Amino acid sequence: MISQIENKEMVGKAYQKGIEFFIHKPINRVEVEAVLVKVNERWKYERYILEIKQSLAKLGVVDLSTVRRERPVRDIAMVILMDMGIIGEIGSKDIISLIEYLIEHRQADSSPPLKELYESAAQTYKQNKKDVEKESKAIEQRIRRTIMTALNNLASIGLTDYSNPKFEYYAPLYFDFQDVRMRMKLMDVELNPEKGKANIKKFLKVFYMEGWKK
């Protein structure tokens, strides 16, 4: 929460309402950096705890369904997006919306057409048919650009350190191997920086499965 309020009682009420980090105005760079570090540490801590619970669940020690309920899909999605370096991309919000839609409708074993997914997302805040069609196309473009950015980021990591945990985990899981290799080759020789492709449907399906199983 960012506010210019300095009254200790009101700040205390904000924390009681669930605010975890409070930044005072005027914004101080050092304070903001400190808060961001704490947020990052919090996310890492929560992810470690989740991974431990999942490991215990596989051993029959913890009920996996309980683990799923303890953490919202949006939180899981944000960690994945952050790991891929696309948390700040505008299309990341669309990706989260699509995953939440899929999980809400329990479409675990089906792969609805991408056009259907885009239109479903557009219908959440558009009513007119033409507006829905226009917005669904905009959503498609935003998601495509965001996924390509993720591919570029992972390919860049792979060129720097092929054994990097993020590259080893996300690159082969979310993208087709040939697409990753081609992107790395193009980046390595600085050829056609905008050229490349990604399997959008595979990316979203894997993203969905990651959110569902966690």
Tens-digit pLDDT profile for residues 111-161: 678 888 898 888 877 778 888 889 999 999 999 999 999 999 999 898 888
Q: Specify if 60 maps to a domain.
A: no
Question: pTM of the prediction?
Answer: 0.62
Q: Specify if 27 maps to a domain.
A: no
Is the predicted pLDDT of residue 49 greater than 90, yes or no?
no
Please, which pLDDT band fits residue 192 given cuts at 50, 70 and 90?
A: low
Q: Specify if 151 maps to a domain.
A: yes
Q: Specify if 21 maps to a domain.
A: no
| 159 vs 69, higher pLDDT | 159
Q: Specify if 122 maps to a domain.
A: yes
Q: Specify if 11 maps to a domain.
A: no
Average pLDDT, integer, range 17-25: 57
178 half-sphere exposure, CB direction, 13 A CA radius? 2
Note the pLDDT of residue 147: 95
Please, which pLDDT band fits residue 68 given cuts at 50, 70 and 90?
A: very low
Domain span holding position 109: 72-214
Note the pLDDT of residue 50: 65
Please, which pLDDT band fits residue 67 given cuts at 50, 70 and 90?
A: very low
Number of domains in the chain: 1
Q: Specify if 79 maps to a domain.
A: yes
Note the pLDDT of residue 98: 87
Q: Which tokens sit at 19?
A: 């605010």
Is the predicted pLDDT of residue 16 greater than 70, yes or no?
no
Q: Specify if 159 maps to a domain.
A: yes
Q: Which tokens sit at 128?
A: 């007119």
Q: How far is CA 177 from CA 23, 24, 150, 165, 198, in A?
A: 43, 47, 14, 16, 10
Compute the CA torsion angle 182, 184, 188, 191 (nearest 10 deg): 40
